[in-house]
Structure 1
């Protein structure tokens, strides 16, 4: 049982670290762009840090189905600091991806 507890703690610690990185990235991205991400649509560990994809409302319209959303890819270094971002997609709310 001791081994299982240790594994669970390390896994939990890993999730906490990832959640902290996402939170910091969201704050830094918001400060730089003025956009506040609605959700995380992608997350990947890289050799140098993390790549996170945020979904952002770029232009609110009424009705909100006419709002424009965007996917931004945010790059973090090992310390969790934002080192770059780019918009990778822009689309109307409710538009499904074409597979």
Structure 2
């Protein structure tokens, strides 16, 4: 006799913030083919997630001259990417002047 799955087992669990952050880092690295430095911001929105990931664009000597970019990723609640764009580029040694909310 075939065992039927419980309702809870058949419902796919949506990824949590930790899983979305890992996914965003992995997706960014594979899309832009560069080393990711980390996530600079992450927000849940009505239709998914907006994640900003900092990427090392170019290594320089001294390292304060490295070029870093921030990419904004849009993900659905299930973790599917719906779009991305580069929003900023700066030298590592430059002062960051983002507005803090």
Q: How is 1:42-81 mapped onto 2 (pairs within 5 angstroms)?
A: 42-81=41-80
Query: Could you report, residue by residue, the CA deviation over 1:36-86 in whole angstroms, capped at 9, with x for unpaired residues?
Result: 321111111111100001111101111111111011111101111111111
**Aligned residues: CA RMSD:** 1.8
Aligned residues: 85
Contact 1:26 1:36 in 2 (8 A): no
Stretches of 4+ moved more than 6 A in 1?
none
- Work out the CA distance in 2 between the residues paired with 1:39 and 1:58: 13
- Work out the CA distance in 1 between the residues paired with 2:82 and 2:58: 25
Shift of 1:93: 0.5
- Work out the CA distance in 2 between the residues paired with 1:29 and 1:92: 19
After TM superposition, the score normalised by the length of structure 1 is 0.78
Contact 2:51 2:72 in 1 (8 A): yes
**SS of the residue aligned with 1:38?**
strand
Range moving further from structure 2, 27-36 or 46-55: 27-36
After TM superposition, the score normalised by the length of structure 2 is 0.76
